[in-house]
Structure 1
């Protein structure tokens, strides 16, 4: 089994696929819902309209996409259309690699060369020339009977695993993750963007760390460009979604950043930091809430 899936729950999903009775276990899995099918419409000829499932492994592929949708944070952090098209392109890449080298004549040498170039990268976007000249059914994403569940599904899992290191998000931090603070080591290899602020927020001192909730003040902090592979560590630190919750919030710079926001139920009795800056936590500006 591929041992590169280091980020839960992808490792668990890979283990499940490797089980001998996997196909029996997921036999009752429903096919893709409308949203999952619809994202592929502009990738294929009109008469296909969706990623074609032509084998008994269709349920297995559907099961995997559902797991990636419901058991990972990809659809929370990435545009869903981008995410699904990226995975569909991984399926196409697998299909293309499975085509016979002798070329039966079903695919012209020109088309084969074009597709080889298009499928080399991880980007889910296809060129205008390929949109104008749709591929034959042989390389339009059809899952054939000869495809093995392990080969096909591990290909999709490997593509999802690459997202952890190839995709980045902008993170706004305002407490122990800032420079000079106790947990900044988690961001030591992240790209520092600069300072920023969030409006309509109030900051409270919980002792070793702060918490912000919606309010009437301004929250000050720092921004970082981080790979998705850091998110599991940050989720553990912040006890997401129980103590803090990840949210996309617009900053005063006009950029939307990922922020860990607290819950009002956790701040009764905690002093408010009126300035909105965690670095002022020892100043006389801190005061208990009314």
Structure 2
């Protein structure tokens, strides 16, 4: 089993959560304050080395097959890398590929992506 931290459309109640149907929800948690989460329109993306906020999300136990399926789903837009969570545990997380432009995408300063934006954007 693998720990996977999700922060966008893979979360419970969102459009792509069905990809985690064989997985077990562990808990809601967040990353260390090392990242920036962006609104890319229909989904969020996290970029590294821009310490704007913690990233809020959900942690799941996933099997190798599910992880492979999600890798294929995320495609060339995202790369899976290890991340340290606030409690010092380590999980997989998807970061925006350095080859994908995010110019003009607003930062979500609260660290929480939601379908309804609210006042947490810059």
| Structure 2 length-normalised TM | 0.90
SS of residue in 1 equivalent to 2:55: strand
Q: Name the SS for the 2:41 alignment partner.
A: coil
Partners of 1:273 and 1:281 within 8 A in 2: no
Residues in 2 aligned to 1:280 and 1:190: alpha-carbon distance in whole angstroms: 23
Equivalence for 1:181: 14
Q: Which runs of 4+ in 1 moved over 2 A?
A: 263-266
1: CA distance, partners of 2:57 / 2:92: 12
Number of the residue aligned with 1:158: none
Find the partner of 1:248 among 77, 82, 89. 82
RMSD: 1.4
Q: Is the 8 A contact 2:22 2:66 kept in 1?
A: no
Indicate the structure with greater helix content: 1
Deviations 1:34-87 (CA, angstroms, capped at 9, x unpaired): xxxxxxxxxxxxxxxxxxxxxxxxxxxxxxxxxxxxxxxxxxxxxxxxxxxxxx
Matches of 1:204 and 1:187, distance apart in 2: 23
Which whole-Å CA distance do the structure 2 matches of 1:280 and 1:253 have between them? 27
- The answer for the alignment partner of 2:30 in structure 1 is 197
User: Are the equivalent residues in 2 in contact too, given 1:205–1:281 (CA < 8 A)?
Assistant: no
Tell me by how many angstroms 1:280 deviates: 6.9
Alpha-carbon displacement from aligned partner over 1:183-221 (angstroms, at most 9, x marks no partner): 001112211000111121110001111000122111110
CA distance in structure 2 between the partners assigned to 1:275 and 1:209 by the alignment: 16
Cα pair distance change 1:209/1:180, threshold 3 Å: same
Q: 1:203 to 1:281 in 2, by over 3 A?
A: farther
Distance 1:267 1:234 in 2: 21
Higher relative contact order (CA 8 A, sep 6+): 2
Larger radius of gyration: 1
